[in-house]
């Protein structure tokens, strides 16, 4: 016959299993209720606190309650590196949910460090800490060191190479080093659309290697068809490198398929129409649509005004120039002054 402790042990295990089943079925509320019952039966049930913390984090982002669970888990299992890692993860995610970013990222980093103390080759903790440093006031140099540590323990860590490339590009604009990292990441993960996109950006910024950038953007679009930023940059590359404005417009239209209120895509398409055999009517339509979504775009007003002028709609053009000047665009102010227009 079972004694009270053994009965509670069995009940706790049953509640834990029921909670895990509910969690897998996306019923976090029921899962949490089961986990609470489990720890009532067995107050030192570390596994139940861990699962309850993950359920709280998932269910409407109740990160404070999740952290309470992980703190209890750490209290019960002070030497478990996974406890610290998940505790830190919750702080990292919680950082996105609060205005006080710095405080939350600082706490996350403390926890990642603690996790690494107990497990020196914790690759995921190094990687997550690198991301946290980048988010926390752009500490890219510290992030690079974290990614290097992650790669030391996992040499085929493609995402760490990709992030490290981004950190080099952001820190001192070291595009040459960034390109090396992106190329290594692609060697390890050839279908990584994001990395191709970042590599394209690095080529674009490093001495204007637009042809190479274009190749990268094309590959990014190949591996991830619903990639809005790629179509934007791909359109710019076609316009600048190839003067293929028809292809550029096709790219901007593709971007708008996925994000119909993208003011930048409308603006770029307007420039392409204006440049391509002076299709100013279509350019005006695009500029006006872009301004509808971004009414404070002084440069769009300036180009809209210029397009109106080309069609000899001078009153409309002057009104646009005045609006561009009002929004602070110097070239519009200079144009108005040069033409004695107040």
Tokens 């003011």 locate to: 263
Q: Residue 298 is inside which H or E element, if any?
A: helix 298-310
Which residues fall within 8 angstroms of residue 281, CB to CB, at 6 or more apart? 311
Report the pLDDT value the prediction gives residue 101, as an integer from 0 to 100: 40
Distances (CA, A) of 62 to 52, 98, 228: 11, 12, 31
* CA angle in degrees (0–180, nearest 5) for 177-178-181: 90
Report the pLDDT value the prediction gives residue 15, as an integer from 0 to 100: 95
DSSP 128-149: HHHHHHHHTTT-HHHHHHHHHH
Report the pLDDT value the prediction gives residue 123, as an integer from 0 to 100: 92
CATH superfamily of 173-222: Tetratricopeptide repeat domain (1.25.40.10)
Mean pLDDT, 10 residues at a time, over the chain (342 residues)? Answer: 81 95 96 96 92 88 84 80 69 48 74 84 91 92 98 98 98 95 98 97 94 96 90 95 95 95 97 96 98 97 97 96 96 94 85
Domain assignments of the chain as residue spans, ordered by start: 173-222
Report the pLDDT value the prediction gives residue 118, as an integer from 0 to 100: 80
267-272 long-range contacts (CB < 8 A, ≥24 apart) are 267/297, 267/299, 267/300, 267/303, 268/232, 268/235, 268/236, 268/239, 269/235, 270/300, 270/303, 270/304, 270/307, 271/239, 271/303, 272/235, 272/239, 272/245, 272/248
Q: For the beta carbon of residue 310, count every other beta carbon within 10 angstroms.
A: 15
Can you give the pTM of this predicted structure? 0.81
Q: For the beta carbon of residue 334, count every other beta carbon within 10 angstroms.
A: 11
């Amino acid at each position: 016959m079972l004694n009270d402790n053994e009965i509670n042990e069995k009940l706790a295990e049953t509640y834990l299993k029921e909670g895990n089943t509910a969690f897998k079925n996306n019923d976090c509320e029921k899962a949490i209720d089961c986990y609470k019952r489990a720890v009532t039966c067995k107050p030192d049930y570390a596994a139940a606190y861990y699962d309850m913390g993950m359920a709280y984090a998932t269910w409407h982002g109740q990160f404070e309650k999740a952290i309470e669970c992980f703190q209890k888990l750490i209290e019960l299992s002070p030497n478990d590196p996974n406890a610290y890692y998940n505790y830190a993860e919750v702080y990292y995610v919680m950082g996105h949910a609060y205005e006080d970013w710095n405080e939350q990222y600082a706490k996350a980093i403390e926890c990642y460090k603690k996790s690494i103390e107990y497990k020196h080759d914790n690759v995921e903790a190094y990687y997550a800490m690198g991301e946290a440093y980048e988010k926390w006031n752009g500490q890219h140099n510290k992030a690079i060191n974290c990614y290097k540590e992650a790669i030391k323990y996992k040499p085929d860590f493609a995402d760490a190479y990709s992030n490290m490339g981004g950190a080099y590009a952001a820190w001192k604009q070291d595009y040459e080093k960034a390109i090396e990292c992106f190329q290594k990441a692609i060697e390890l993960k050839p279908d990584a659309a994001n990395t191709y996109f970042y590599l394209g950006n690095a080529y674009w910024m490093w001495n204007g290697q637009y042809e190479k950038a274009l190749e990268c953007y094309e590959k990014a679009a190949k591996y991830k068809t619903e990639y809005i930023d790629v179509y934007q940059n791909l359109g710019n590359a076609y316009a600048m490198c190839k003067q293929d404005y028809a292809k550029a417009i096709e790219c901007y239209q593709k971007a708008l398929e996925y994000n119909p209120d993208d003011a930048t895509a409308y603006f770029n398409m307007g420039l392409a129409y204006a440049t391509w055999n002076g299709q100013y009517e279509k350019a005006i339509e695009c500029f006006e649509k872009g301004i509808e979504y971004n009414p404070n775009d002084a440069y769009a007003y300036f180009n809209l005004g210029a397009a109106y002028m080309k069609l000899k709609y001078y009153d409309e053009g002057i009104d646009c120039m005045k609006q561009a000047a009002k929004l602070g665009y110097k070239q519009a102010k200079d144009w108005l002054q040069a033409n004695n227009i107040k």
